[in-house]
Amino acid sequence: MSQTTLAFPTVEEEIWRYSRIGELQLDRFAAGTTSVTIENADGVQVQGTDATSLVGSGMRSHPDIFAQLNTEHGAVIALHIGKGKVHPSTVVITHTLSQSGIVAYPRLVIKADENSEITVVERFVSPDGTDSLIVPVAEVHAAQSARVTYLAINELGNSTWQIGHQVAVGERDSTVRMFTVALGGDYARVRAEVRLVGQGASAQQTALYFADGNQMHDFRTLQSHEAPRTHSDLLFKGAVKDKSKSVYTGLIKITEEGTKTEAFQTNRTLTLSSGAWAESVPNLEIDTNDVKCSHASTVGPIDDDQRFYLESRGVPPEIAERLVVFGFFDEVIERLPASDFVAGIREKVIAKLGSIS
C-alpha cells in the first residue's frame, strides 16, 4: 500500500460532507494504545511477522489519512482460520481507552481460508470524560465458501471520538456478515465497505445506532459488486434525540462484471426530539444490465398510527412511544449474532430511551 502522505479531509469532500471533521485537531493528541483483552482466540490468533504480513488482506489502499496512520502506527491483532475449519467459540476482543489526550490505532485482520467459519466481536470502551481519539481499522478476507461474522460494538464515553473503517472482501460463494452497534462516543464515524469479488459471494451489513445529548453518529457505506450473481443486503436503523445528529450516506456500486446481482440498501432514522437532526443519502451506480437493486431511506418522528393503536388499547402515551421505538430497533437486534452482548445491547437501548421529548 502506498505510503504517500494524504491530505487531512474537509467537509468539502462528499465522503466527509455533514461530518464534524473540521472540529478535530489531530496534533493535540499524543500517540497511545488501548488496553486489550482477547478471549477464545486459541488456534486462530497469529503473532509477530505472521500477523503483520496479513495487513492489507482486505484494504488494498489507504482511503484516507486515518487509514494510513493506522497502517503506519497501528497495533495489529490478526486472526487466521484454516481451510475447512469452524472456530467453535466467538472471539471477543475488547479495547479499553482510559487515558485522555491520546490517539490509538487498533488494527484487526481476519483471514478465513476456504470453507472455514469464524465469528468475532470487537468492543470499544472508554469511561465518560475520556477526551481521546480512537481510529480502528477492521479488515476481513473471506476465501471461497468461507463464512465470517463480525460485530463491532461502540460503548465509548461521551468525550471520546472514533473514526473507524471496516472493509470486507468476499471470494466465490463466501458469506460475510458485518454488524455495528453504535451507542457511545461524542463523534463516532464508521466507514463500512464490502467488496464482492467472487461469483456467488454474499454480504449482509447491519447497524443499530442511537444518539442522545450532543452526540453524532456518522456512517458511510459501500456495497461493491465486482462479480456475477453476488448478493448484498444492508439495513441501518437508528434514532436521534435531544440535540444529537446522525448521518448516513451509502453507495451500491455494480461493475460491468456484476451481472445478475441483487443488492438492497435501507436506512431508517427516528427523530425523537425537536432539536435532533438526521441526514440520509442513498445512492446507486450501476454499470451493467440484468440486476435487481433497491434503496430506501426515511427520516422522521414516531409513526402516529402505531402510537395511536397502542394508546387506543390503554397503553399510556409515554410507554407507547417507548414500545414503538423498541419495536423499531428489534428488527436489527434480531439479526445480531447470538452472544452474551445482545441482552446488554437491549438494556442500553432502553436506558437511552429515557424520556422522549
C-alpha pair distances (Å), 280 with each of 54, 185, 289, 307: 35, 20, 27, 24
Provide the pLDDT for residue 317.
79
Provide the pLDDT for residue 2.
43
Contacts of 203 (CB under 8 A, 6+ apart): 168, 170, 175, 176, 177, 178, 194, 196, 223, 230, 231, 232, 233
Provide the pLDDT for residue 60.
84
C-alpha pair distances (Å), 350 with each of 183, 213, 268, 320, 356: 11, 15, 19, 13, 11
Chain centroid to CA 226: 21
Provide the pLDDT for residue 341.
73
Provide the pLDDT for residue 356.
58
Distance CA 222, CA 167 (A): 9
Q: Is the pLDDT of residue 354 over 80?
A: no
181-205 pLDDT, tens digit each: 999 999 999 999 999 999 999 999 9
Single-letter residue type at 42 = D
3-state secondary structure of 306: helix
Provide the pLDDT for residue 1.
42
Ranges of each domain in the chain: 14-303
41-97 pLDDT, tens digit each: 999 999 999 999 999 989 988 899 999 999 999 899 999 999 999 999 999 999 999
Q: Is the pLDDT of residue 355 over 70?
A: no
DSSP class of residue 342 equals H
What's the chain's average pLDDT?
93
Single-letter residue type at 278 = A
Chain centroid to CA 279: 17
Share above pLDDT 90 across residues of the chain, in percent, rounded to a whole number:
80
28-32 mean pLDDT? 95
C-alpha grid cell for residue 282?
Answer: 442513498
96-147 pLDDT, tens digit each: 999 999 999 999 999 999 999 999 999 999 999 999 999 999 999 999 999 9
Provide the pLDDT for residue 181.
96
**DSSP letters spanning 125-193:** E--TT---EE--EEEEEE-TT-EEEEEEEEE--TT-EEEEEEEEEE-TT-EEEEEEEE---SEEEEEEE
Least confident of 113-122, 214-223, 230-239, 288-297: 288-297
Q: Is the pLDDT of residue 3 over 70?
A: no
Single-letter residue type at 76 = V
Residue 249: which of 185, 181, 297, 195 has the closest Cα? 297
**Contact by Cβ (8 Å): 131, 160:** yes
330-341 pLDDT, tens digit each: 889 888 887 777
Kind and range of the H or E run holding 328: helix 317-333
pTM, two decimals, is 0.94
**DSSP letters spanning 231-257:** EEEEEEEEEE-TT-EEEEEEEEEE-TT
**Contact by Cβ (8 Å): 189, 162:** yes
| Count of beta carbons in the 10 Å neighbourhood of residue 276 | 21
Characterize 222-250 residue by residue with b for buried, 16 or more Cβ atoms within 10 angstroms of its Cβ, and e for exposed. bbbbbbbbbbbbbbbbbbbbbbbbbbbbb
